[in-house]
Structure 1
């Protein structure tokens, strides 16, 4: 095969500056390899950086359309900088570690959601480093469809990126590079055979495209759920075609039961506050459970447990309310630590679930991004107990088997006198990722609760169908 003279010149130069070495080497993972690439040395050779940048521009970027370029940290950053200058396209920088102060951004630079970003990388083996950058950029609403690289090691990285909807264009493949070097007397045929055998025997692990919980239907997510209550709730939503949770913040058992007689067929979950009910009795629990069975909805006691494990265990199973006997799931804060989850493990082997509060809808609440992240990590240790999270944002968690429960919803955006901020169904489902949407006063205080319940149910379900169709425009 005839190669462009500039590519041949670059390959020989990379060999001469020890950016590519042949022999016996051990990778970070302990694997033996007959070839080693260290393209970090190119920063000491301005002529090599210039040559690489010009060739990437001429060979790989000619027909690509993009608004920004972003180099994968850290070796590709100087090349991305040069390309930004040459193309007059703005550069974005991805931080490997999100800073814990200031804006706490993972992506630096000026950009808008919907714009396209081209990724620049030096070497691709498995593609994992590129995918980390892709995911952070996509999380910001940027479109990423292409990456340009210096060398494809041909060990599965291009396939991994392709399966994640990223096309790779490279200056060299491992095969073309060793072909150039052997033809120019830089390596022996024996070395070529070693490298080719190595490539056949050592492929990178397959990186599957992560499941996007936002686009998966409830039926599919029920199959992926590890918590029994989450499975039930997903199935109820799919069967009844409703993702409406009614918050019955009433103080009279008669009013609660009368309301549920009217709207029970339109909801998947009923959220209670047992400790505000003025005439609470065991008979009330018996009757509300009968309604739950008749209309096929689950019961969530919004207790927001937040004490030490021993106390929470008593609050959950003892006292006047004996919540553990009747509530399918409860809410809890992660503030006390893992002890609270140990305390809420299902009594008597029953299916029970917990929604952990990762965010709140009230204005000025003190939950921080670090607290939210720690809450999700803590939950991951108890997969059979956690039903999901009470949260407000799409990026809080990724597990499609968990449920995002989002309160603070009304048909029109507003704010009450006590700092509760209300969002529209479209905003919470399509933009913020809500799965089950909590509505209280919008139904409870209406002149015709059943009319409002049907309106909310239909509106919320249409938003869900639009979301899983992927047609969000």
Structure 2
């Protein structure tokens, strides 16, 4: 399973940036799975040029450090479109210019037509998205890439929540584990829930640290096996 070490300075910086940007919030939230979560990570709140630029830089630095080899980026509609563009810019700032493409939800019957937009989908393709819940949308993206004659090699995400995708006691895998084990795609995350907890344990901000107990309890209940 792909995880980011809790001593990783890049991950710690990203978690702190997410808190400061209001993207990572603490309180009482209900996840798509119906779970009551003490924290919420919403990439839709990277909603101005400065935040999006920094986000792209974090993705780029993590991808370069990962050593994962890829030829282009693919952003699944809709969030992945903006994210792929941001990552392409971030990589260019690091001296690596790569093409990117994305899909439409519905095929266009005029102009360039089809469902794929941007650079031709070819070679080793890296999927860019925000999170992985159950992995189903990543399977769809991988299928589109293969249908275009290219090879999906991985998925880059912002935060790995490191929690089980299902409440079924017989299925204790996370969405990230499903993507890696069943789809054969490497997952690269900028940070993980372990990184978030490490920040809460070491921060000098008492208000921020006060969330540690609830986050730890949530992880104990829904977290993946070590």
TM-score by length of 1: 0.39
Residue ranges of structure 2 left out of the alignment (5+ in a row): 1-5, 164-173
Contact 1:34-1:198 within 8 A present in 2 as well: no
Return closer, same or farther for 1:75/1:164 CA change in 2, 3 Å cut-off: same
Alpha-carbon distance in structure 1 between the residues aligned to 2:53 and 2:221: 31
1:77 matched to which residue of 2? Answer: 81
Alpha-carbon distance in structure 1 between the residues aligned to 2:118 and 2:56: 21
CA deviation digits over 1:433-456, x for unaligned, max 9? xxxxxxxxxxxxxxxxxxxxxxxx
Structure possessing the higher relative contact order (Cα contacts under 8 Å, 6 or more residues apart): 2
1:194 aligns with 2:226: no
Alpha-carbon distance in structure 2 between the residues aligned to 1:116 and 1:161: 17
Aligned length: 198
Deviation at 1:182, TM superposition (A): 3.5
Return closer, same or farther for 1:30/1:55 CA change in 2, 3 Å cut-off: closer
1:2 aligns with 2:7: yes
Alpha-carbon distance in structure 1 between the residues aligned to 2:145 and 2:35: 31
Taking only aligned residues, the RMSD between alpha carbons, in angstroms, comes to: 2.4
Alpha-carbon distance in structure 2 between the residues aligned to 1:154 and 1:161: 13
Deviation at 1:105, TM superposition (A): 1.6
Residue ranges of structure 1 left out of the alignment (5+ in a row): 202-473
Give the secondary-structure state (helix, strand or coil) at the position aligned to 2:209.
coil
1:160 to 168, 178, 187: 178
CA deviation digits over 1:238-263, x for unaligned, max 9? xxxxxxxxxxxxxxxxxxxxxxxxxx
1:52 matched to which residue of 2? Answer: 55
1:136 aligns with 2:159: no
Alpha-carbon distance in structure 1 between the residues aligned to 2:152 and 2:136: 15
CA deviation digits over 1:316-372, x for unaligned, max 9? xxxxxxxxxxxxxxxxxxxxxxxxxxxxxxxxxxxxxxxxxxxxxxxxxxxxxxxxx
TM-score by length of 2: 0.76
**Which segments of structure 1 move beyond 3 Å, counting only runs of 4 or more?**
28-31
Alpha-carbon distance in structure 2 between the residues aligned to 1:81 and 1:112: 15
Alpha-carbon distance in structure 2 between the residues aligned to 1:120 and 1:104: 23
1:204 matched to which residue of 2? Answer: none
2:171 matched to which residue of 1? Answer: none
Alpha-carbon distance in structure 1 between the residues aligned to 2:102 and 2:194: 31
1:31 matched to which residue of 2? Answer: 35
1:148 to 156, 160, 181: 156
Bigger radius of gyration among the two: 1
2:201 to 169, 176, 182: 182
Contact 2:14-2:190 within 8 A present in 1 as well: no
